Every structure is written in structure tokens, then in C-alpha cells.
């Protein structure tokens, strides 16, 4: 089978029509209205469902909402969250809560902003904020500790209000050691 080829003319071999067409497009765009944003001074309006940096929040009285349950840590696909929990002493006014996060870190270099941590949190203590500009001069500065996360998150209204007196359990019920429970039920079997 023979293919008939069209021989380019001198006009086409000079590539002048292609260059001219490119210049026409450039000239059209030169006189169009610009959509430039003056970034640091003017910030972009984000949609309501935008997921930015994950942050920790406190309740309306300034108390930590996180109870150190590790659910956000286990659901995080890139394992960006690390928590170390500690027990709350039985003489504290928050005795009905077993533990709190002594250390809560999010590695923002690993975080993929998926929002699974927010979905998994039973206490509504972690939220995806609207912050999108996250910078740091070193890797260490990109690991946000608990204080930094609370600074970014601020306070939110807590409808559960688990610290109110009507929601507190008996002090004798709080922080009973596992060995004590096992010893008291050992004779009943």
C-alpha cells in the first residue's frame, strides 16, 4: 500500500503560521482581565467543606476535649499522629475521665489532610481547620505538638458537656484498678 504524502510548501516549512498563531493567542491574553491575587494581603475564600490543617480544640470553659483514646492515631493512614496518654488522678475534678493526652503530635509532612481523624474522634476534639498555609524551616518545626495544635484550634462549643456535675459519676467508681476489680469478682465464680 502506497501512502500519498503532501509536500509542505515553503510557507509551511518556515513555521511562520504556527508562530503567528501563538502570538495571536498571547496578544489576546495580554488584554484580558487578570485574575491575580495579592496573596499575603488577600487570602483566598475557601469552600465550607475545605479540609485544612487538623487541630485540637478545647471546650467553652478552656478544658481539653481529647481523652487520649488513640482512635485518631489508629485510623490515620500515613501514621502522622502520635499520642502518649496519662491517667488523671482520682482527686481531680475531672475524675470521671480516665486519661488525657500527655503528648499529642501531628507530623504535618506526613499528613494527607484526609479528615479520617476528625471522623473517628468520639469526643469531637480534633477538627480540620481552614488553615492552608503551613510552612517551616526544618522538619522539626513541621511536627506540631499539643500546644501548637490547641493554639491553632482554639475553643468550640461543647454540647456534650461531660464535665458538668450532672454528668459526673460517683468518685468511688472512678479509677478503680484492674487488679482490685479482679480480686473482688474472683470469689463470685
CATH code at 59?
A: 3.30.70.3270
Instruction: Quick: pLDDT tens for 42-95.
Output: 888 888 899 999 999 998 888 888 989 999 999 999 999 999 999 887 777 766
Distance, first Cα to last Cα, the chain: 93
- Helix ranges, the chain (H): 10-13, 16-30, 71-75, 116-120, 146-153, 178-186
Instruction: Quick: pLDDT tens for 156-168.
Output: 887 766 666 665 5
The model scores a pTM over 0.75: no
- Residue at 160 is within a domain: yes
Instruction: Identify whether the C-beta of residue 137 lies closer than 8 Å to the C-beta of residue 44.
Output: no
Instruction: Identify whether the C-beta of residue 126 lies closer than 8 Å to the C-beta of residue 81.
Output: no
DSSP-based three-state secondary structure for 152: helix
- Residue at 80 is within a domain: yes
CA 38 to chain centre: 26
Query: Which residue would you say has higher pLDDT here, 27 or 93?
Result: 27
Compute the mean pLDDT over every residue in the chain, rounded to the nearest whole number: 84
- Residue at 18 is within a domain: no
Amino acid at each position: 500500500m502506497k501512502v500519498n504524502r503532501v509536500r509542505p510548501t515553503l510557507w509551511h516549512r518556515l513555521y511562520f503560521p504556527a508562530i503567528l498563531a501563538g502570538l495571536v493567542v498571547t496578544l489576546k491574553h495580554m488584554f484580558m482581565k487578570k485574575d491575580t491575587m495579592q496573596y499575603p494581603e488577600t487570602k483566598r475564600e475557601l469552600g465550607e467543606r475545605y479540609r485544612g490543617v487538623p487541630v485540637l480544640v478545647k471546650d467553652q470553659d478552656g478544658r481539653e476535649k481529647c481523652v487520649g483514646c488513640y482512635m485518631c492515631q489508629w485510623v490515620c493512614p500515613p501514621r502522622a499522629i502520635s499520642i502518649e496518654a496519662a491517667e488523671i488522678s482520682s482527686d481531680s475534678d475531672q475524675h470521671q475521665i480516665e486519661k488525657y493526652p500527655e503528648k499529642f503530635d501531628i507530623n504535618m509532612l506526613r499528613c494527607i489532610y484526609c479528615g479520617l481523624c476528625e471522623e473517628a474522634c468520639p469526643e469531637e476534639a480534633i477538627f480540620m481547620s481552614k488553615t492552608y498555609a503551613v510552612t517551616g524551616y526544618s522538619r522539626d518545626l513541621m511536627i506540631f505538638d499539643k500546644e501548637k495544635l490547641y493554639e491553632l484550634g482554639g475553643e468550640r462549643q461543647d454540647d456534650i458537656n461531660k464535665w458538668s456535675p450532672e454528668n459526673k459519676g460517683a468518685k468511688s467508681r472512678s479509677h478503680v484498678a484492674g487488679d482490685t476489680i479482679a480480686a473482688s469478682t474472683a470469689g463470685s465464680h
